[in-house]
Structure 1
Amino acid sequence: MTEPLRLRALRGATTAEENSSASIAAAVQELLAALIESNGLEGPRVVSVTFSVTADLDACFPAAVARRWAGWNEVALLDCQQMTVAGDLPRCIRLLAHVWMEPQRQPHHPYLREAMRLRPDRSGHN
């Protein structure tokens, strides 16, 4: 008998090269691809994703980028501004995703690009 899926919270972060729609979109797409690939996710298993961005990113909404993903029309998406803290990583995009996963699967929290500095223990696809 198969165990029921378990609701998990996944974290991740990346940085945009500049404050432009194209740069933000590229960073969000890369982060979502890493999240999905490393956790074996499908659209229906993603319940919600909250994106937060540092105040220096205002060219586009990360949720608008995620909304274009196939199978994500039922995913609750939200954008917010990250709290401003002196010395914080610039042009940073963070996410918190709630997903259904197999209980035996180890969750992976992708920290990409310059955001690897935030969590060196979880950089890349770990």
Structure 2
Amino acid sequence: MDWKVRAIRGATTTEENTIEAIRSAVRELIDEIEARNELDPDEMISAIFTMTPDLDAIFPAAIARERSHWDHVALLDVQQLQIEGSLNRCIRVLIHVNTPQPQRAMNHVYLGRAKDLRPDWNLTPLHRDRHRL
């Protein structure tokens, strides 16, 4: 099977603009993405984090860099557009990985109030059988 670059999306929210609240939310999101996708750290290429303008206490990439196996992953933080009526205190991530799995096997993770952003992707059960896709 050919290896390709695939993308994994995720998002979460936090109730507070504090270092502790953002750190907790980012860690939970990354933990869940890693578990649901059985990620091998050597297969990760990059991660782009975005946060809504109402979150500015810490960079999500700084939190990801605390993970020992993320030291070789290219990380970038950007601010999301502020669109009227959009979800507040939201953190999103787009992770690129090398994998032999097809794109449809990637498990996207939406936590907290971000579950409503992509309910069609959020219904993926943990540890589903990837070979049946």
Query: What's the TM-score bracket when you normalise by the shorter of the two chains?
Result: over 0.9
- TM-score, normalisation: structure 1: 0.92
Question: What does the per-residue CA deviation read over 1:39-59, in whole Å, with 9 as the maximum and x for residues that have no partner?
Answer: 110211110000000000000
In structure 2, distance between residues paired with 1:116 and 1:66: 21
Q: TM-score, normalised by structure 2?
A: 0.88
Residue equivalent to 2:110: 111
1:72 corresponds to 2:70:
yes
Higher helix share: 2
Q: Structure 2: which 5+ runs fail to align?
A: 126-133
**Is 1:51–1:95's contact at 8 Å kept on the other side of the alignment?**
yes
Q: Does 1:35 align with 2:33?
A: yes
Contact persistence 1:111–1:124 (CA under 8 A): no
Out of 75, 84, 94, the residue aligned to residue 92 of structure 2 is: 94
1:55 corresponds in structure 2 to 53
1:84 aligns with 2:82: yes
Q: Is the 8 A contact 1:43 1:70 kept in 2?
A: no
State the secondary structure of the residue aligned to 1:71: helix
Distance 1:123 1:103, change over 3 A: closer
Shift of 1:22: 0.3
Q: CA deviation at 1:71?
A: 1.2
What is the number of residues matched between the two proteins? 124
